[in-house]
Structure 1
Amino acid sequence: MAHDHDHSHHHTHHAGQDSQRRLFWAILLTGGFMIAEVVGGIVSGSLALLADAGHMLTDTAALGLAWFAARISRRPADEKRSFGYHRVQILAAFVNGLTLIAIVVWILIEAIRRLLSPVAVMGSTMLAIAALGLVVNVVVFAILHFGDRDNLNIRGAALHVLGDLLGSVAAIVAAVVILATGWMPIDPLLSVLVAMLILRSAWKLTRESAHILLEGTPESLDPVTLRREIPEQLEAVCNVHHVHVWSLTPGRHLISLHAAIAEGEDRQAALVAIRSLLEERYGLDHATIQLESWHQCADEPDSDERHDKADTRAARPTCCSEAG
């Protein structure tokens, strides 16, 4: 058991170092090119380039926040924060999601203004800078995409860069159309398309991180199923209630529960069996379990749990015969 926790600790530590290194390189590349794109957007007059440059400006800040969160999350637990600093990554992902939504709103407002009052765009300058931006964004996205897939902080940073990548593609297409036809509205129209693509991913990131921050139940785990299956799998357990499951990070789930043990059963053995079942069947290696005697439960279960108890009594009368 201790070995599994130690292995998990080392794996998390290594993943944290890798994430921090990937974010550092992403900051250097994104921040360095951002300056060139801001200048190019102003010179060419392209909204698509300015929108992408503005996005890259916030990306540099977002990547910096993600890097700081990855670094802080590696700190060990202390007396004030018994679970450590892992949640900092989720908070950073939530902030990045909100930032992405704000960027989308800005792009939409500016696009409407450009459609109502068209602005001349220098297609050749726009095309050259957008093409270079695409190369940089592809490299940065690859660096982050092949990192820790379960890390919401990395995912949030990658979504920012994906928005930049799509913005560069839109700017290239807009530049080609402008050079070929001179039709200026293509620039704000493609900016709106990119904004809609960014919004979908930003909303998902914000929703997932908010769910974790609100101690929401992981999608892969169902407390009702847990209450039913643990007594079914373990003869010593008559009833399971007060089940709470939440996530520290997307890859680290925690659980607390009350388990009523049949009279005459070895309570220590039952505790070990419950922990083993939770870890092997559900991947829950951090559990807080309160053991109770079947006829001396400290708290009365809710209506659903009383229904489960009745089912358990019917199915296993020998276990529950001492309830009185």
Structure 2
Amino acid sequence: MKHQPSQAFRWGIVLNAAYIVAEVAFGVAVGSIALVADAMHNLSDVLGLGIAWFADWLSCRQPTLKRTYGYKSSSILAALINAVFLLVAMGAIIVEAAGRFAHAEPIQGGTVMAVAGVGILVNGVTALMFHAGQSHDLNIRGAFLHMAADAGVSLGVVVAGGLYLLTGWTWLDPLVSILVALVVLVSTWGLLKDAVNLAMAAVPKAIDLAKVRQLITDFPTVVGCHDLHIWALSTTDVALTVHVTRKTDCNNDQFLEQLGRKLRDTFDIAHVTIQVEYGDYQPLQATDNPY
């Protein structure tokens, strides 16, 4: 399960590191500060990939006496760090582009387009390697957005360079940079919110707490539940604890196994802990805490 993301991280870092070296070389050769600056931006993306890869590796480590859940939550921290990285990077692009409106300078359209075209290929291929996993793993999603954002920025550079060669309008480059950065910011904001929610032990976005409660209360022999908690152990693993009141104590082990399996299969909850209670059941009042 972890092998494929590991390969994607490895190849993503190798491809982007090679591209950074090429950007610096071309930037120095043609005297383009913009290419050298973009190489430094791409260096931050390689760092982001490294953080996500390290967290992915840590999450596979075995639990210890002090960390009984292992290092799974490191993937949440990595997603949070990558979201902040993206926000800072896009903010820096917007500030830099806004400054260029006042001091627009001619650009070497052909060279810039060629180098940016390679950037589309490198970042696009890297993003595709993370595409399959980004829908169910926030850490992978952070890496995917990093690469997709860079591919988008490179595409914007190609478009701006081509239009510049046709029109000579120097303001096209900063305008396209700002538009691409704003689009990336929208996606990054969603990543940041999801990462913060997971870090704060909120119910994962993919799980409906009301439906979980309904499944439990509708289960045979169950008359009610309380102290229901659902939170993320990592960007892929979810935990649940609940107190369940039954109207019988028959076949308790079988009941626990069946309800636990039903919760895991229906909501993809990896760790289920159920405490069974007996005796007279008193329904919660409106003023009581439903959890």
**Could you tell me how far apart the structure 1 residues matched to 2:281 and 2:249 are?**
14
Moved more, 260-269 or 208-217: 260-269
- 2:136 maps to which residue? 150
- Choose from 192, 196, 207 the match for 2:178: 192
What letter is aligned with 1:288? T
Q: Distance in 2 between matches of 1:220 and 1:132?
A: 36
Deviations 1:187-228 (A, max 9, x none): 111110111121112111111111111111123333334334
Residue 312 (structure 1) aligns with: none
Question: Are 2:224 and 1:242 aligned?
Answer: no
Distance 1:72 1:280, change over 3 A: closer
Q: Please give the alpha-carbon distance, in whole angstroms, between the structure 1 residues aligned to 2:187 and 2:266.
A: 31
Q: 2:78 and 2:174 mapped to 1: Cα distance? A: 30
Distance 1:64 1:269, change over 3 A: closer
The residue type equivalent to 2:159 in the other structure is V
Q: Does 1:91 align with 2:74?
A: no
Q: Mean alpha-carbon deviation: is it higher for 225-234 or for 56-65?
A: 225-234
Tell me which amino acid in the other structure corresponds to 2:47: A
Q: Is the 8 A contact 1:227 1:239 kept in 2?
A: no
Aligned to 2:126: 140
1:64 aligns with 2:47: no
Distance 1:284 1:118, change over 3 A: closer
Q: Which residue of 2 aligns with 1:253?
A: 238
Amino acid in the other structure paired with 1:254: A
More helix by share: 1
Kept in 2, the 8 Å contact 1:40–1:126? The answer is no
Relative to structure 1, the CA distance from residue 118 to residue 208 in structure 2 (aligned partners, 3 Å threshold; closer, same or farther) is same
Check the 8 A contact 1:52/1:164 in 2, yes or no.
no
Give TM-score scaled by structure 2 length. 0.89
Once the two structures are superposed, what CA deviation does each residue of 1:276-300 show, in whole Å capped at 9, x if it has no partner? 3323433334211111123278xx8
Report the number of matched residues. Answer: 290
**Is 1:164 aligned to residue 164 of structure 2?**
no
Give the superposed CA RMSD.
Answer: 2.6
Q: 1:284 to 1:40 in 2, by over 3 A?
A: same
**Which of 179, 185, 200 is the matching residue for 1:214?**
200
What's 1:109 paired with?
95
TM-superposition CA deviations, 1:115-160 (whole Å, max 9, x none): 0111221112212211222222222222222456422222211111
Report how far residue 256 of structure 1 moved: 0.5
- Secondary structure of the residue aligned to 1:203 is helix
Q: Which moved more, 1:265-274 or 1:124-133?
A: 265-274
- 2:7 corresponds to: 21
The answer on 1:272 being equivalent to 2:257 is: yes
CA–CA distance in structure 2, aligned partners of residues 196 and 227 of structure 1: 39
Instruction: In structure 1, give the amino acid aligned to 2:246.
Output: I
Residues in 2 aligned to 1:200 and 1:148: alpha-carbon distance in whole angstroms: 17
Alignment partners' CA distance in 2, 1:169 and 1:244: 45
Q: Does the alignment pair 1:303 with 2:289? A: no
What SS class does the counterpart of residue 256 from structure 1 fall into?
A: strand
Q: CA deviation at 1:17?
A: 2.2
The answer as to whether partners of 2:116 and 2:154 remain within 8 angstroms in 1 is yes
Q: Distance in 2 between matches of 1:240 and 1:190?
A: 54
TM-score by length of structure 1 reads: 0.80
Distance 1:184 1:44, change over 3 A: farther
Q: CA deviation at 1:264?
A: 5.7
Kindly state the Cα deviation for residue 106 of structure 1 after the two structures are TM-superposed: 0.7
Contact 2:75 2:235 survives alignment (8 Å): no
1:284, 1:141 → 2: CA distance?
Answer: 28
The aligned counterpart of 2:219 is 233
Change (3 A) 1:67 1:27: same
Q: Using the alignment, how far apart are the partners of 1:306 and 1:102 within structure 2?
A: 40
What percentage of aligned pairs have identical amino acids?
31
Residue 213 of structure 2 aligns with an amino acid whose one-letter code is R
Whole-Å Cα distance in 2 between the matches of residues 146 and 108 of structure 1? 30
